[in-house]
Amino acid sequence: MLAYAAKRLALAILVALFVSAVAFALLRLSGDPALAIAGEGARQADIELVRKTYGLDRPLIVQYLDWLCTIARGDLGQSLYFRTDVSGLVADKLPVTFWIGGLSILFALALSIPLGVLAAVFAGTSIDRAALAIAVVGQALPTFFFALVLMMLFSINLRWLPVSGSDTWAHFVMPTIALGYYVTPPMMRLVRAGMIEVLGSDYIRTARAKGLSGTSVVFKHGLRNAVVPVVALAAVQLGYLLGGSIVIETIFALDGLGYLAYQSITHKDFPVTQAVLLLLSLIYVLLTLAADLLNAFLDPRIRVS
Amino acid sequence: MDGTIITPVVAPTPAEGALPAPGVLRRVLGHPGLVAGMVLLGLCVAMALLAPLLAPYDPYAQDLNQRLIPPVWFEKGSWAHPLGTDNLGRDYLARTLYGARISLLIGLSAMLISGLIGTTLGLVAGYLGGRVDLFVNFIITARLAMPVVLVALAVVAMIGGSLLVVILTLGLLKWDRFAVVMRSATMQVRALDYVAAAEAAGASRLRVLAGEILPNVFPHLIVVATVEAGSAILLEAALSFLGLGVQPPLPSWGLMIAEAKSFMFFSFWLIAIPGTALAALVLGINMVGDGLRDVFAPEGRA
C-alpha cells in the first residue's frame, strides 16, 4: 500500500507541476507582462526599466522557478481588473464554489443511487428503461439551457426562487439542480452496472437462500458493495463540477470562482485566470489522489497490478 | 428459480469482433433506441444539408420592421415566419436550420482532431506499455486536471473567437476519453493470440497496430467518437453562449440562446427553439452511441 501511495503521490506532484507550467505559459502568451505593468502608452525606456526591476529579462525557466516559489508562499500576484490581491480575491470566492460543488454532488448522489438501484433490481423492465431514459436525456441537455429553463419556471412563472445572486440558501437551489443533474447520468450508470454485477454474485444468492428479505439483501449486502466505485467517481466528478460551474455561476451570477474566472477572462485579467486555473486543477489532482488511494485501500487488487 | 437452468462450465464463446455482417444489420434494426437515434441524427443532418432549400429567408437578412414575431402556434404568429423572428428581425427558422450546419461541422471536425490525437496516444501506450505507457498516462492525467471550459475560454479570449479557433481548441483539448478508452482496449487485445501470431510471423509494430489491433478496437472507437462529437457540440454551444465561441452573426444555436437571453422573460420560445434543437441533436448522437455499444458488445458494458 505504501509503495502504491508513494507512486501515486509522485504522479500527483508531477501533474501539479505540469499544470503550473501551463498556467505560467498562459500568462506569458497573453501578452508582454512588462507592458501590462507599465501601462498603455508607456515609453520604451520605462518598459525596459520595468523589465529589469521585475526580473523579466531573465531566462524563462528561471522566471518560472521564481514564480513557483512566489505562489508556494501564497502570493498569486495582483489583479489587473479588480486592483486587489489575487490570493485574497480567490479565497473570498472559494467557499461559494465549494458549496455549489458539494451540494451538486449530494444532489447527484441522492438522485443516482436510488435510480441506479431501481434500474438494477428491475433490470430489463420498463422501470429500467425509464431510468436509462432520464440518464440519456440528461446527458443531451445543454447545462446552460437547462439552467435557463429552471430560471423561467421557478423564478418567473412560479416566483419561488430568486433569479440570481448568492446571498441566501434559496439562491443555491437552481444552480445545484442544474449542475447536479449534469453529473447524475454517469453516476447512475455506474450504480446500475455495479448493482447488477453484485446482485448476480454468490454471496447475494447465499443471503437470499438464508431467507433474508429482498430489501435487506439489496441494501445491506448489495448496495454497500456497489457504492464503493461510485464514491470514487463522485470525487472525480466533483473536480469536473468545479470546472463546469463556470457556466452555471455566470448564468446565476453566483459570486464564486467560476464567475470570477469568467469575469477575469472577459476583462483580460490573466493573473486571476491563472490563479483560478491553478486552484481548480490542484483541487482536481488532490481529489483524484484521494479517490485512488481510497480505492486501493478498499480493493487490494489495484495496489498490486 | 434459476436452479432449473444448467449452465455449462466452459461455454463456447464466439470470437470477439468477428461479427457476421447480416447479424449486425439485424441487431441494428432490432434496437429501437439505435433506430430512433439514427432517425433523429438523420433529421439534423438533413436539416443541415438542405438548409438552403428549406430556409424561407436568408439567415443573415435583417428586417427591423419584423422584429420578435412569435412562431406560428402563437396568436400573433403567421406562416410568413413559421418559427418567428429574432430581435433583429431575422427569420428564426432559417437561423435554426443553418445552425445545424455549425453544430455538426464543429462536432465532426473537433471529434476527428481529438480522435486522431487520442487514438494514437492510446494505441501506442496500450501496445508498447512500459515507459511509453507511463508517459501517456501522465499526459492524460495532466490534461484531465485542467478544466476544459476554463482553458477553452481563456484560449478563445486570447486568440479571438472564430469557427476555426473553436474547432481547433476543442479538438486539441478533448482527446482524453479517446486516449483512455483506446489504451485499455488495446491492452486487452494485445494479450490475445492473433497478435502474438502476427508478431511471431515477423510483422512490424506499425503493421501489428494498424492491421491487427486497430480493427479489433474499432467498435470502442466508434462509440467514443459519437459520444465525443455530442460533447464537443455541447461545449461549443456553451462557449458561444458565454460569448467566447463563434461570433455573431453566425447562427450558432448557443449564440442564438445568448442573443435571446435578454428577451427570454417575454419571448421564451426564442431560447426554447435553439435549445430544443441542440438537445435533440445531441440526444440523437448519444442514442446512436449507446445503441452501437449494445450492438458491438451485447453482453453490455454500462
B151 closest CA partner among A63, A82, A19, A256: A19
Burial readout B143-168 (b: 16 or more C-beta within 10 A, e: otherwise): bbbbbbbbbbbbbbbbeebebebbbb
Q: Residue B249: which residues within 8 A CB-CB, separation 6 or more?
A: B60
**Mean of pLDDT over chain A:** 83
Is the four-CA dihedral A277, A280, A284, A285 of positive or negative sign? positive
Contacts of B288 in chain A (CB under 8 A): none
pLDDT (average), residues A228-255? 81
Terminal alpha carbon distance of chain B:
26
Per the structure block, which three cell numbers stand in for A132? Answer: 436509462
pLDDT (average), residues A157-165? 76
Per-residue pLDDT of A102-152, as tens digits, reads 899 999 989 988 898 888 888 888 888 888 888 888 888 888 999 899 888
Q: pLDDT tens digits for chain B (302 residues)?
A: 344 444 444 444 444 444 445 667 787 787 888 899 999 999 999 999 988 888 888 888 888 888 888 887 888 878 888 888 888 878 889 999 999 999 999 999 999 999 999 999 999 999 998 899 999 989 998 998 888 889 999 888 888 888 999 999 999 999 999 999 999 889 888 888 888 888 888 888 888 888 888 888 888 898 899 989 999 999 999 999 998 988 888 899 999 999 888 888 788 888 999 999 999 999 999 999 888 888 876 444 43
Least confident of A199-203, A214-218, B32-36, B272-276: A214-218
Q: Does A263 touch chain B (CB under 8 A)?
A: no
Q: Residue B90: which residues within 8 A CB-CB, separation 6 or more?
A: B57, B59, B60, B61, B62, B63
pLDDT (average), residues A221-238? 76
User: Do the chains contact at B141 and A288, CB–CB below 8 Å?
Assistant: yes
pLDDT higher than threshold 90 for residue A48 = no
pLDDT higher than threshold 80 for residue A16 = yes
Residues 57-116 of A with CB under 8 A from B: none
Could you tell me the pLDDT band of residue A170, with boundaries at 50, 70 and 90? Answer: confident
Per the structure block, which three cell numbers stand in for B231? Answer: 460533447
User: What backbone phi and psi angles, to 5 degrees, belong to B216?
Assistant: -90, -15
B80 closest CA partner among B65, B96, B91: B91
Which of B146, B242, B286 has its CB closest to that of A247? B242
Considering chain A, what percentage of its residues have pLDDT values greater than 70?
96
pLDDT higher than threshold 80 for residue A181 = yes
Burial of A242 (0-12, 13-18, 19+ CB in 10 A): buried
Q: Which amino acid is at B263?
A: F
Q: Residue A106: which residues within 8 A CB-CB, separation 6 or more?
A: A180
pLDDT score for B14: 47
Among chain A residues, the shortest Cα distance to B2 is held by: A205
User: Do the chains contact at A149 and B275, CB–CB below 8 Å?
Assistant: yes
User: Do the chains contact at B144 and A192, CB–CB below 8 Å?
Assistant: no
Q: Which amino acid is at A6?
A: A
Q: Which residues pair with B91 in a beta bridge?
A: B85
Q: At what angle do helices A2-29 and A60-72 cross, to 10 degrees?
A: 120
Residues 133-172 of A with CB under 8 A from B: 136-137, 139-145, 148-149, 152, 156
User: Do the chains contact at B153 and A262, CB–CB below 8 Å?
Assistant: yes
pLDDT score for B12: 43
pLDDT score for A74: 80
Burial of A108 (0-12, 13-18, 19+ CB in 10 A): buried
DSSP calls for B80-148:
TSTT-B-TT--BHHHHHHHHHHHHHHHHHHHHHHHHHHHHHHHHHHHHH-HHHHHHHHHHHHHHHHS-H
Global pTM exceeds 0.80: yes
pLDDT score for A305: 57
Among chain A residues, the shortest Cα distance to B260 is held by: A148
pLDDT score for B79: 81
pLDDT score for B234: 92
DSSP calls for A264-297:
HHHTT-HHHHHHHHHHHHHHHHHHHHHHHHHHHH
pLDDT score for A295: 77
pLDDT higher than threshold 80 for residue A299 = no
Chain B interface disruption, residue of A145, A263, A266, most B CBs within 10 A: A145
User: Do the chains contact at A145 and B265, CB–CB below 8 Å?
Assistant: no
Contacts of A273 in chain B (CB under 8 A): 150, 154
Q: How far apart are CA A186 and CA A111, in angstroms?
A: 12
Q: Does B265 touch chain A (CB under 8 A)?
A: yes
Which of B138, B146, B271 has its CB closest to that of A148? B271
pLDDT score for B3: 42
Q: Which residues pair with B137 in a beta bridge?
A: none
Neighbours of B259 (CB within 10 A): 24
Could you tell me the pLDDT band of residue A237, with boundaries at 50, 70 and 90? Answer: confident
Per the structure block, which three cell numbers stand in for B219? Answer: 467498435
